[in-house]
């Protein structure tokens, strides 16, 4: 094997090779095209994208686990006609497995994975994904996502606004990793960012590493409302009306229940100019995804002679956050009123591109 390319060395230097590959095998290097597209997303956002994608793994001291995600909650499983990424990160996900696979509940009492692997191996991927979506299970077929355009996001310009002349006021309604990372990047660039949480349903990232949560959110103003009350919803609506940029990671119907409609807010005289919507598979698709299964849906997995394994740690999450921040920066200069659809699967598909085949082993 010859000397690795500059792109491959950058992948390795940032710790991403150590997060990619089988636990007993060599680290795997991403193809040059994949690395170059990640770096391009970072350039648009004004950040080092490769460094940010490995950030959580450094905090949690994660390592590569092959067909099991670095965080341990997601697995790549063979089906009758391909590969499936199944995430069982939440208690509700495990509880839904018997209904999803039509198996006895006692078969998943202690460890659901043997039952899941045995049940999916003889079934087609599309049928498994379709039934999982009805139960809001984060399940994706590897490479299923069809790209909606040449870029990593889909942006609709509603027009009618001048370029930004000062640092924006940003409202961060998102949770977990992708949206909060977007807010953090904007805050680091001088934006005034307010993170809003529901008192009844706070950001699930509170249950993880506290230091990593503070890294994503420590530079933001933070408020919490009881969104089950009229007063709480009214307070949220007022913040939306005063914001220049809104970041959210909810399905549209969830926001509608709070009295918020992205298109209506963008068209209002007093309202945001940029609305960033981060979802698993796109605003029009009522499906759930997390970083690892979202990356798999876009085909962004590493391949060796045994099949696919996860590429780094929940890769679609930080890439979506970086993409969103880059779109905001571009929209601030261009002017207009933008509704931006950033999906984990879509960003992953963009980064993956037409690159297929075995990933190289690190020397």
Question: Following DSSP, what letter does each residue of 17-77 receive, concatenated?
Answer: GGGSS-TTS--EEPPHHHHHHHHHHHHHHTS-HHHHHTHHHHHHT----TTB-TTSSEEEE
* Nearest alpha carbon to residue 42 among 360, 334, 326, 343: 326
Contact predicate 199/225, CB 8 Å: yes
pTM beyond cutoff 0.75: yes
Contact predicate 225/235, CB 8 Å: yes
Question: Following DSSP, what letter does each residue of 193-248 receive, concatenated?
Answer: EEEEEESSS--GGGGS-HHHHHHHHTTSEEEEE-TTSHHHHHHHHHHHHH-SEEEE
Q: Domain 154-285+314-351: give its CATH architecture.
A: 3-Layer(aba) Sandwich (3.40)
Going by the DSSP 8-state scheme, the letter that residue 108 receives in this structure is: G
pLDDT of residue 118: 94
Tokens, residue 153: 């996001």
pLDDT of residue 221: 94
Question: Following DSSP, what letter does each residue of 282-303 receive, concatenated?
Answer: -TTS-----HHHHHHHTT-EEE
pLDDT higher than threshold 90 for residue 251? no
pLDDT digits (tens, 9 = 90+) for 41-55: 999 999 999 999 999
How far apart are the C-alpha atoms of 243 and 239, rounded to whole Å?
Answer: 6
pLDDT higher than threshold 60 for residue 38? yes
How many CA within 13 A on the CB side of residue 56? 23
pLDDT higher than threshold 80 for residue 211? yes
| pLDDT mean over 236-261 | 90
Sequence spans of domains, the chain: 154-285+314-351
pLDDT digits (tens, 9 = 90+) for 6-29: 999 999 999 999 999 999 999 999
Tokens, residue 245: 């940029």
What 3-state class would DSSP assign to 10?
helix
pLDDT digits (tens, 9 = 90+) for 131-166: 999 999 999 999 999 876 667 888 888 887 888 888
């Amino acid at each position: 094997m010859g000397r690795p390319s500059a792109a491959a060395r950058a992948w390795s230097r940032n710790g991403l090779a150590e997060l990619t590959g089988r636990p007993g095998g060599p680290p795997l290097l991403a193809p040059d095209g994949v690395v170059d597209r990640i770096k391009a997303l970072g350039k648009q956002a004004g950040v080092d994208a490769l460094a940010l994608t490995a950030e959580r793994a450094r905090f949690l001291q994660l390592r590569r686990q092959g067909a099991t995600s670095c965080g341990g909650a997601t697995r790549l499983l063979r089906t009758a006609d391909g590969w499936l990424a199944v995430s069982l990160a939440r208690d509700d996900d495990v509880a839904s497995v018997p209904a999803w696979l039509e198996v006895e509940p006692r078969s998943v009492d202690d460890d659901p994975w043997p039952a899941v692997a045995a049940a999916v191996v003889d079934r087609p991927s599309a049928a498994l994904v379709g039934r999982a979506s009805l139960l809001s299970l984060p399940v994706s077929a590897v490479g299923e996502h069809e790209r909606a355009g040449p870029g990593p996001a889909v942006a609709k310009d509603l027009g009618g606004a001048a370029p930004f002349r000062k640092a924006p006021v940003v409202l961060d309604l998102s949770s977990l990793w992708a949206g909060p990372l977007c807010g953090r990047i904007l805050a680091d660039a001088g934006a005034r960012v307010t993170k809003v949480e529901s008192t009844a349903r706070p950001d699930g990232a509170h249950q993880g590493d506290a230091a990593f949560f503070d890294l994503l959110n420590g530079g933001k103003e933070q408020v919490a409302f009881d969104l089950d009350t009229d007063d709480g919803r009214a307070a949220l609506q007022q913040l939306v009306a005063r914001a220049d940029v809104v970041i959210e990671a909810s399905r549209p119907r969830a926001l509608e229940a709070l009295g918020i409609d992205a298109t209506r807010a963008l068209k209002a005289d007093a309202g945001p100019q940029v609305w960033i919507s981060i979802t698993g598979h796109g605003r029009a698709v009522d499906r759930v995804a997390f970083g690892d299964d979202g990356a798999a849906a876009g085909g962004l997995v590493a391949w060796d002679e045994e099949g696919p394994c996860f590429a780094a740690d929940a890769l679609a999450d930080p890439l979506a956050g970086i993409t969103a921040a880059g779109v905001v920066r571009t929209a601030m200069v261009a002017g207009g009123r933008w509704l931006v659809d950033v999906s984990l699967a879509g960003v992953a598909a963009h980064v993956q591109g037409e690159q297929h085949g075995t990933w190289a082993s690190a020397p």
